[in-house]
Structure formats: structure tokens, C-alpha cells
Amino acid sequence: MKIDRFAVSLFATCGILLSSGCGGPAADKPAGDKPTDTPAPTTAGTTANAGAKGLKLGFAQVGAESGWRTANTESIKSECEKQGVDLKFSDAQQKQENQIKAIRSFIAQGVDVIAFSPVVETGWAPVLQEAKRAHIPVIVSDRRADVPDDLYATFIGSDFIKEGEMAGEWLVKKTGGTANIAELTGTPGSAPANDRAKGFRTAIGKAAGLKIVFSQTGEFTRTKGKEVMEALLKSPVGNTVNVVFAHNDDMALGAIQAIEATGKKPGKDIVVLSIDGIKDGFKAMVDGKLNCSVECNPLLGPNIIDAAVQLKAGKTLPKRTVVQDGIFDQSVAAKELPNRKY
């Protein structure tokens, strides 16, 4: 089984940096979207970030739907505390209207910088125009927003298409190119759900015998992942499924519970594959129940604070900073588990 050793070792390198105060995920040069004027932030997580102290940052978070999100929130909050940033944090409970309200309230409070992780891709232009009129720079973090470039300063996050492709490529090798797949998709309309589905289809498209026989949202939560899987396993198509591809670990962990309840063995009778690489996912790999997880690094706090400091100082940042992710399966899970930070 081939694992992306380069990416694994990249993560291991960052793991060392993390313990010595790096704190942020590896980020490479901006790819794709736009050429850049300035290099990506390089001082991620340093404690001596002059300019951070007292900076007013409004952060509109998606919610608390998953282990990934909890780690992301924790990374932002702890980095703000460490660097003395005055953080105004809002949890939108997965609702776009709540995020829009939060951004409006940040504008009204006159924060220095606004950061947010858009729950869905579309519908952001009006509120971002309001921020622009108020001369408040906006950092898009984690998920893409489908808006013109001039409405945000920088976008820091993973390449979700690539994550879906890595998952698909792993599956082609694992199955030899024949399987019936059930897909548990993320929040409808969100960038990770759209892009992971797309990347996965591109990769499995190379093997004609790999078929997606079922696809339904589990909204990125463990509870919904379990519910959807339970219903699927009771249906005739459920009997034909031998692979579950979940857009995040939490839904996969819910699906694993549903599979076990029917007496089948997840990881053996049904291959289970997901994305995020949270600790609980690694534990399930060590237990033989999850086969593979593509990493998506949530530790964006240091990069967001660095970007906010630079924006407050009037600097121009790259439009896109891509966070590098690896892929892990059962063959490396036990060795890697102690290194996991989230």
C-alpha cells in the first residue's frame, strides 16, 4: 500500500516545529488562484509577533460540528490568548445567516481585521462589500467563499480537491479498482463537500469498476453519519456496499458504529475511508475499523494571527496560501498516533 511518504515526512517535520513553537501547518507558495506580490507568512506562531498585542480580531466560526472544528477553534483561541489579540469570537451553529450577523457586528464594533470560515461557498458578496466600505480587511480561512478577489485580502486553507483525489487514489490501489461505494458527504454547498466529492470522482474515474451506488449528506457530524448509515444498511442497496467514503472522520466514526450494530466488521467487511486525520480517526485505524484518513490540518491559528498583524500594518498578502496535507492508513497509524496534535 503506497502512502505519500513525502507528505508524511512533511507532517513529521512540522510536528517537530510545532513542539518548538511553530504552531501552524506547513503552507506552500500560493497555487493556482492568483499570482502573489508577497511571500506567504513565515513567522507563524512565533511568540514575538509585535503588532498582535491589542489587535482587534473578529472571527466568525462555522460551528462545533466535528473534531476538526473543535481543534480549529482551539488553535485560534489559544493563539490569540498567547499573543494578546483581542478576539471577538462567534459560533454560527452551521447557519450562514448567523455568520453574516456576526460579520456585521464586527464591522459595527470597528475591529481591525475580520476572519471567517464560510459555512457555504455562495452568498457572501453583500456583507463583504460592507466590510470593504468600512476598510476592514477580511481573511478567509479554511473554506473558500465564491466572491470576487477584491472582497477579501487572503485565503488560507487546504486544497480540498486534492484531498478527495488522494482518497480516491488510495481506494483504487486498495480495491484493485472494483467496489460499490457509499459516500457520506459534508454540509451541502460547503467548499469541502463540493471539492472532496469532485476530487474523489476524478481519481476513481480511472477505474471503471469503482461505482458510487449511494451518496447522501451526513452534515459533517458523527450523529448524522451514523443515522444515514443505519438507514442505508437497512435498504437493499446497503447490502451491495463494500466501501464507505466519508467526507470527514466524524461521519466515518458514526458509520462505523452503524456497521458494527449489524454484526459486520468495519475495516474488513466494509472498507472505511475518510478525511481530516483527527486523533479519534487514528485510534479507529489502530483498532482496525477505519482503513485510511487523508489529513486536513486545522491548526490555522498562528497563520491567521500572522496574516491579521500584517494586514493591520497595511501589507498586501498572497491571495491564496495552501496548507499541505498528508495521507495515513492502518500501516502507519500506530506509529503516527503519538505525534498527532488534534
Q: Which residues sit at the interface with ligand GYE, rule CB under 6 A?
A: 65-66, 68-69, 142-143, 192, 220, 248, 250, 275-276, 296
Among 265, 266, 254, smallest CA distance to 230 is for 254
Shortest distance in whole angstroms from residue 152 CB to ligand GYE:
16
Residue 70 DSSP code: H
Q: Which is nearer to ligand GYE, 40 or 323 (CB)?
A: 323
Shortest distance in whole angstroms from residue 24 CB to ligand GYE:
15
Query: Is residue 36 within 8 Å of 318, Cβ to Cβ?
Result: yes
Q: Which is nearer to ligand GYE, 66 or 321 (CB)?
A: 66
The size of the chain, in residues, is 342
Distance, in Å, from the CA atom of 62 to the CA atom of 73, rounded to the nearest integer, reads: 10
Q: Which is nearer to ligand GYE, 11 or 220 (CB)?
A: 220
Give the count of beta carbons closer than 10 Å to the beta carbon of residue 235.
Answer: 11
Distance, in Å, from the CA atom of 67 to the CA atom of 240, rounded to the nearest integer, reads: 30
Q: Which is nearer to ligand GYE, 56 or 143 (CB)?
A: 143
Q: Which is nearer to ligand GYE, 64 or 151 (CB)?
A: 64
Q: Which is nearer to ligand GYE, 49 or 245 (CB)?
A: 245
Shortest distance in whole angstroms from residue 82 CB to ligand GYE:
23
Strands (E) across 247-330 are located at 271-276, 292-295, 320-323, 327-329
Q: Which is nearer to ligand GYE, 216 or 242 (CB)?
A: 216
Q: Which is nearer to ligand GYE, 11 or 68 (CB)?
A: 68
Shortest distance in whole angstroms from residue 118 CB to ligand GYE:
9
Shortest distance in whole angstroms from residue 159 CB to ligand GYE:
11
Shortest distance in whole angstroms from residue 277 CB to ligand GYE:
10
Cell 507563524 sits on residue: 44
Strands (E) across the chain are located at 27-28, 56-61, 86-91, 113-116, 138-141, 154-158, 178-185, 209-217, 243-246, 271-276, 292-295, 320-323, 327-329
Query: Is residue 117 within 8 Å of 242, Cβ to Cβ?
Result: no
Shortest distance in whole angstroms from residue 226 CB to ligand GYE:
15
Shortest distance in whole angstroms from residue 187 CB to ligand GYE:
7
Element of type H or E holding 229: helix 222-234
3-state secondary structure of 313: coil
Give the count of beta carbons closer than 10 Å to the beta carbon of residue 93.
Answer: 13
Shortest distance in whole angstroms from residue 48 CB to ligand GYE:
30
Distance, in Å, from the CA atom of 62 to the CA atom of 65, rounded to the nearest integer, reads: 8
Distance, in Å, from the CA atom of 43 to the CA atom of 275, rounded to the nearest integer, reads: 28
Q: Which is nearer to ligand GYE, 194 or 310 (CB)?
A: 194
